[in-house]
Structure 1
Amino acid sequence: MGISLILGPHPPVVPARDGAVLIRRVRAYVSGTAFPIFLIHVPAHAHLYIPHHGFVVAVLIISRVAPHQIIFPCPPPTKKKTFSSDSYERESGGGADCHRQSSGHWIVDSTISNPMSVYEEYRKSRTSWGIGALGSVIVEVELDDIRRTMGIGLSIGGDAACYVIEEHLSRFVLGQDPSNVELIWDQMWRSTMNYGRRGLAVQAMSAIDLAIWDALGKHRGVPVYELLGGKTKGRMPCYATTCRPDLAKEMGFFGAKFPLPYGPASGDWGMRENIATVKKWREAVGPDFPIMIDCYMSLNLPYAIELARKCEPYDVKWIEEALPPDDYEGYSELKKAVSTTMITTGEHEYTRYGFRTLLEKKCADVLQPDITWCGGMTEARRIVALAAAYDIPIIPHGSSIYSYHLQICFPNCPMAEFLVMSPKADSIVSFFGNLFTDEPLPKDGYVELAHDRPGFGVTLNR
Structure 2
Amino acid sequence: MSKITCVRTLRLPERPKLIWLELETDEGLIGLGETFRGAATVEAAVHELIAPGLLGRDSRGIEAISLELTTPYVGYHSASAEIRAASAVDIALWDLKGQRHGIPIHEALGGACRERIRVYNTCAGYEFNTQQGARRQITTADRAQGPYDDQLAFSRDAGALAVSLVEEGYTAMKIWPFDQFARQHGANSISLDDVRKGCEAFRQIRQAVGDRIEIMCELHSLWDSTAALRICQALEAYDVYWVEDPLCKMDDAQALADLRHRTRVPICASETLGGSTAYRDLLAAGSLDYLMLDLVWCGGFTEARKIAALAQAYNKPLAPHDCTGPVALFAGLQLGLHAPTAVLQEVVRASLSTWYGELVTHLPQIDGGFALAPSLPGLGTALRPEVRTRADAIIRETRC
TM over 0.5: yes
Give the aligned residue type for 2:11.
V
Cα deviations across residues 97-119 of structure 1 (Å, max 9, x unaligned)? xxxxxxxxxxxxxxxxxxxxxxx
**Structure that is richer in helix per residue:** 2
Q: Counterpart of 1:344 in 2: which secondary structure?
A: strand
1:195 paired with 2:75, answer: yes
Aligned residue among 144, 149, 155 for 2:35: 155
Tell me the CA shift for residue 326 of structure 1. 3.0
**Quick one: distance in 1 between partners of 2:12 and 2:93?**
19
Match of 2:94 in 1: 213
**Deviations, residues 249-299 of structure 1 (Å, cap 9, x unaligned):** 221112111113333546333212111122112212213421111111112
Greater shift after overlay, 21-30 or 346-355?
A: 21-30
CA distance in 1, matches of 2:221, 2:374: 36
CA contact (8 A) 2:5 2:26 kept: yes
- The CA deviation at 1:433 is 4.8
Structure 2: distance between partners of 1:28 and 1:401 = 19
Structure showing greater radius of gyration is 1
2:221 to 273, 284, 297: 297
Call closer, same or farther: CA 1:288–1:245 in 2, change over 3 Å. closer
Deviation by residue 1:5-55 (Cα, 9 ceiling, x = unmatched): xxxxxxxxxxxxxxx121111111223335xxxxxxxxxxxxxxxxxxxxx
CA distance in 2, matches of 1:217, 1:201: 25
- 1:220 deviates by 1.7
Partners of 1:190 and 1:213 in 2: how far apart?
A: 19
Q: Match for residue 233 of structure 2?
A: 309
**Which letter maps to 2:30?**
M
Structure 2 gap ranges (5+)? 124-150, 152-160, 184-189, 323-327, 386-400
1:197-346 paired onto structure 2 within 5 Å: 197-198=77-78, 199-242=80-123, 243=151, 244-261=161-178, 262-265=180-183, 267-324=191-248, 325-339=250-264, 341-346=265-270
| Shift of residue 248, structure 1, vs aligned partner | 1.9
Cα deviation, 1:193-238, whole Å, max 9, x if unaligned, reads 3122332111011011111111121122111111101111111111
The Cα shift of 1:332 comes to 0.6
> How far apart, CA to CA, are the structure 2 residues paired with 1:162 and 1:330?
35
SS of match in other structure, 2:41: helix
For 1:357 and 1:294, how far apart are their aligned partners in 2?
A: 22
Report the Cα offset of residue 247 of structure 1: 2.1
Q: In 2, Cα distance between the equivalents of 1:236 and 1:326?
A: 28
1:404 to 1:27, Cα distance in 2 relative to 1, 3 A:
same
Which of 172, 177, 199 aligns to 2:53? It is 172
Maintained 8 Å contact 2:10/2:21: yes
List 4+ stretches of structure 1 deviating above 6 A.
Answer: none
1:33 counterpart residue number: 14
Q: Give the aligned residue type for 1:415.
A: L
SS in 1 for 2:297: coil
The residue aligned with 1:456 is 379
2:118 counterpart SS class: strand
Q: Secondary structure at the match of 1:256?
A: strand
Once the 2 structures are TM-superposed, how far is the Cα of residue 431 of structure 1 from its aligned partner? 7.2
Cα distance change of structure 1 residues 299 and 237 upon mapping to structure 2, 3 Å threshold: same
* Equivalent residues of 2:171, 2:212 under 8 A apart: no
1:421 corresponds to 2:341: no
Please tell me the root mean square deviation across aligned C-alpha atoms, in Å.
Answer: 1.7
Q: Are the aligned partners of 1:245 and 1:257 in contact in 2 as well (CA < 8 Å)?
A: no
Residues in 1 aligned to 2:357 and 2:18: alpha-carbon distance in whole angstroms = 12
Assess if the C-alpha contact under 8 Å between 1:172 and 1:187 holds in 2.
no
Q: Identity over aligned residues, as a percent?
A: 27
Whole-angstrom CA distance in 2 between matches of 1:168 and 1:407: 31
Higher mean alpha-carbon deviation, 217-226 vs 433-442, is at: 433-442
Superposed displacement of residue 176, structure 1: 1.5
TM-score by length of 2: 0.80
Distance between the aligned counterparts of 2:116 and 2:64, measured in 1? Answer: 31
Can you give the 5+ residue segments of structure 1 that lack an aligned partner in the other structure? 1-19, 35-133, 423-427
The letter for the 1-side match of 2:211 is P
User: TM (normalized to structure 1)?
Assistant: 0.69
Change (3 A) 1:393 1:431: farther
Query: Is the 8 Å Cα contact of residues 166 and 212 (structure 2) preserved in structure 1?
Result: no
Structure 1, 366-375 or 286-295: larger mean CA deviation: 286-295
